[in-house]
Structure 1
Amino acid sequence: MWHEISRIGKKLVANGLVESHFGNISVRIGNRMLITRSGCALDEITEDNVVEVRIDSSSPLDMIASSEAVVHRAIYSKTPALAIVHAHCPFAVTLSLLEEGDNITPADSEGQYFLGEVPIVKGGIGSDELAENLASSLAHNKTAIIYSHGTFAIGKVLDEAYVLTTQVEHSCKIKYWYDLAKNTRA
């Protein structure tokens, strides 16, 4: 399974959805999850960069797992997700800073159809507050943006979570350019 995590990590970096050492990826296997290690380069994931930890309780390996392990646990506990991709997509982060509401409404038809409104949630990195807010949001959505931080997408498989990540970033890019052009014309 670490090969699949590595493949998705390489795609995230290659497509500019995350800088190498930011973001994390996990897969649920029963009451456990495989999650990237803290600080690992997503385009250089090896078997040693993936940690197996429990979902229902903390683990001694939490010390080396991603700092967002608590967030992944909460999402797996409150949603049907079997895979999670967290990226620091630049346009999604930018729009979360610019948006005055609690969500981003895509301007493009694909974003409207596949995503609908994308919630913006708040909470400190790796905090219990973020875990609760994000898990609650993803119980009703497949994607969300953390204010000033990045995207989370869930799926039945990693490819689904990856595609949703790309769709959020694409829709945020279109909305950013659309809003910029609209304001320039005024």
Structure 2
Amino acid sequence: MWQEISKYGNKLVQQGLVESHFGNISIRDGERIFITARGYALDEITEDGVVEVDVNSPTDRDLMSSTETIVHRAIYQQSRARAVIHAHCPFSVVESLLSDTGLIEPLDSEGKCFLKNIPVIRGQMGSEELAHNAGMALSDHNAVIVHGHGTFATGSSLKEAYVITTQIEHSCRIRYWYDLARKYC
């Protein structure tokens, strides 16, 4: 599993969707979650960079895993997700800061089709509030943006969660440039 997590960690960094030491990735396998370890650079993941934790409750192993483990766990408990990617996509973060409705409505056809409206949720990193809000929102969406923080995208595989992550950023980039152009044209 660590090889697949490493593959998508590299892709996220190469595409500028995260800075190397930020963001996290997980895969659910039955009652287990395989998640990136705390402090590991996503473009340098090795076997030691992935931690196995329980999907139902915290254990001592949570101390070695990402600080967002509580959020990943809530998402798995409240949705059908098999994979989760948390990234710090720059245009997505900007759009979350500009949103005054709690939703980002994609303007591009792919975003409208695959994302619908993207909820903007709140909560501090790794907090119970964020875990609750992400779990609730992702029970009927495939993506959310945490206000001022980043995206959580889900899928039946890491490939699907990665595609959703790239689509969120694409839709937010289009929306940003469109709003800017309208302001000055």
TM-score, structure 1 normalization: 0.98
Deviation at 1:26, TM superposition (A): 0.2
SS at match of 1:92: helix
Deviation at 1:15, TM superposition (A): 0.3
Cα distance per residue 1:34-53 (max 9 Å; x no partner): 00011210000000000001
Asked if residue 6 in structure 1 is aligned to residue 3 in structure 2, the reply is no
- Written as runs of structure 1 = structure 2, the 5 A alignment for 1:115-134 is 115-134=115-134
Q: Which residue of 1 aligns with 2:114?
A: 114
**Distance across 2 between alignment mates of 1:169 and 1:107:** 12
Cα distance per residue 1:148-171 (max 9 Å; x no partner): 000000011000000000000000
User: Structure 2, unaligned stretches of length 5 or more?
Assistant: none
User: Structure 1, unaligned stretches of length 5 or more?
Assistant: none
Q: AA paired with 1:21?
A: H
How many residues are aligned here? Answer: 185
Q: Which residue of 2 aligns with 1:85?
A: 85
Q: Which residue of 2 aligns with 1:163?
A: 163
Deviation >4 Å, runs of 4+: none
Deviation at 1:61, TM superposition (A): 1.1
**Distance across 2 between alignment mates of 1:13 and 1:96:** 21
SS at match of 2:66: coil
Q: Which residue of 1 aligns with 2:103?
A: 103
Asked if residue 20 in structure 1 is aligned to residue 20 in structure 2, the reply is yes
**Distance across 2 between alignment mates of 1:96 and 1:45:** 29
Q: Which residue of 1 aligns with 2:64?
A: 64
Tell me how large the CA RMSD over aligned residues is. 0.5
Identity %: 56
**Distance across 1 between alignment mates of 2:184 and 2:95:** 17
Q: AA paired with 1:130?
A: L
Q: AA paired with 2:8?
A: I
TM-score, structure 2 normalization: 0.99
Deviation at 1:64, TM superposition (A): 1.2
Q: Which residue of 1 aligns with 2:141?
A: 141
Asked if residue 43 in structure 1 is aligned to residue 72 in structure 2, the reply is no
Deviation at 1:71, TM superposition (A): 0.4
SS at match of 1:169: helix
Q: AA paired with 2:167?
A: Q
Q: AA paired with 1:140?
A: D
SS at match of 1:58: coil
**Distance across 2 between alignment mates of 1:38 and 1:69:** 10
**Distance across 1 between alignment mates of 2:129 and 2:92:** 21
**Distance across 1 between alignment mates of 2:134 and 2:57:** 18
SS at match of 1:8: helix
